[in-house]
Amino acid sequence: MIKKNFIIALRSLINHRKYALINILGLAIGLTCFILITIWVQDELSFDNFHEDADNVHIVFRKENDKRAAVSSKLLAPAMKEELPEVLEATCFRQLPEAFSILFQYKENSFVEKIAMADNQFFKVFSFPLLKGDPSTAFSDPNSVVITERMSQKYFGGEEALGKSFSITAFGQKKLLTVSGVLENIPHNSHIQSELILPIEFMNYFGADWDVWGNYSVTTYIRTQDNISSTQLEEKILACKEGHFSEENISYSVLPITKIHLNASNVGFFTTTGDIKYVYIFSAIAAIILLIACMNYMNLSNALSLKRSKEIGIRKTLGSKRIQVIQQYFGETLILVFIALIFAILLVQICLSVLNYLSAKSLTVPYTNPLFILTLLGIAVA
């Protein structure tokens, strides 16, 4: 019976191929736009979710005159770790802007690189996999450096990178650094994008006195206990700072790292390419496009059913039951939608490179993601 209904439905679509083609194209284009936007939105929402216990890892912002800045004193992190039981771990981090790029040299290879700096607590707060080296001592030596797999291949090729030394030229001085760790390449959906990370002591090359409360030079991250109120935590951080340095009228705010990419576009001394308002806008656009495609399909189907009313009447006269007519229409719809879905997936593969170019991303279709597959099937069935 199913095979018979399928053949009848397929024959009917061929007989009305003009309507079928218009419906398939309309649905395919609508589904293509919906899938592409969904992939982009899903990627935007995925930033920093890969860290263990990511919901309890926060960035600490300094607030002054209702403006937030992602800089704080280098002394704040160790003070919070020691004095606040809610703070399990705290780390100092600093990403230098491109203006402070530094020349790295190994044998005949030399490259100008951007660098970041971190203290020994970095791997206790963030769960970036260290493939080689000891995460607890990676930044203990002020003359050490942690590099990514990509940098290891770039400088050392197939050689073992751990323990290798290369020179850097910074501020008119040469310095020899030894590789103390090789980091797995940082995912694109991380707000931290650093290929070479030096010990925080490297800041001493800038010549200022960094170990004072009034010098706001680093970004502070903390890992907290579960279910900690942000308001209470911010008050305790302020009290901690006030206990050491009370000469300035500032306050603090915290933000989970999973929200940084989309909610820190207006923060001083911090760069992010995401904005939550665009996620809302494009999500609404995707829903509207899908709704228009569905309405267009329904209107064309209704127009065709009016044209086929004579055919339906003849079938009923010849003894066809109402359920059989419904089954035929359902079969036609199912075939048409799945053909449109196949075309949409092909169009997505073609258009994805354009989306990656426009968004400066490396997005892929998540065929192995069960939620993505179920969403597509749900849309097709609906």
> Please, which residues bridge with residue 178 across strands?
144, 165
Shared domain for 201 and 317, answered yes or no, is no
Per residue in 266-322, pLDDT (tens digit) is 787 677 778 999 999 999 999 999 999 888 888 877 766 655 555 555 555 555 565
Cβ(57)–Cβ(125) below 8 Å: yes
More confident residue, 59 or 2: 59
Mark which of 238, 263, 288 sits at the end of a domain: 263
Q: How would residue 198 be classed by pLDDT, with cut points 50, 70 and 90? A: very high
Whether 188 maps to a domain, the answer reads yes
Shared domain for 172 and 248, answered yes or no, is yes
Shared domain for 311 and 220, answered yes or no, is no
Query: What's the CA gap between 300 and 278, in Å, rounded?
Result: 33
Per residue in 14-57, pLDDT (tens digit) is 666 777 788 888 899 999 999 999 999 999 999 999 999 999 99
Whether 253 maps to a domain, the answer reads yes
Mark which of 233, 263, 293 sits at the end of a domain: 263
Whether 36 maps to a domain, the answer reads yes
Shared domain for 183 and 113, answered yes or no, is yes
Predicted pLDDT at 206:
67
Whether 349 maps to a domain, the answer reads yes
Whether 216 maps to a domain, the answer reads yes
Tokens read off for 373? 């597959």
Average pLDDT for the chain: 85
Shared domain for 249 and 312, answered yes or no, is no
Range of the domain at 9: 2-46+276-381
User: pTM value?
Assistant: 0.85
Shared domain for 248 and 309, answered yes or no, is no
Shared domain for 41 and 70, answered yes or no, is no
Mark which of 228, 263, 298 sits at the end of a domain: 263
Predicted pLDDT at 362:
87
Split into its structural domains, the chain has a count of: 2
> Please, which residues bridge with residue 116 across strands?
95, 197
Shared domain for 39 and 95, answered yes or no, is no
- If you average pLDDT over each of 181-185, 260-264, 305-309, 359-363, which comes out highest? 181-185
More confident residue, 101 or 95: 95
3 has pLDDT over 70: no
Tokens read off for 202? 């490297």
Max Cα separation, the chain?
96
Query: What's the CA gap between 336 and 9, in Å, rounded?
Result: 10
Predicted pLDDT at 7:
64
Distance of CA 165 to the CA centre of its chain: 33
Shared domain for 84 and 172, answered yes or no, is yes
Taking alpha carbons only, the member of 94, 140, 137 closest to residue 114 is 94
Q: CB-side exposure of 268: number of CA atoms within 13 Å? A: 13
Shared domain for 200 and 98, answered yes or no, is yes
Per residue in 100-130, pLDDT (tens digit) is 778 888 888 888 888 899 999 999 999 999 9
> What angle do helix axes 309-317 and 322-359 make, rounded to 10 degrees?
150
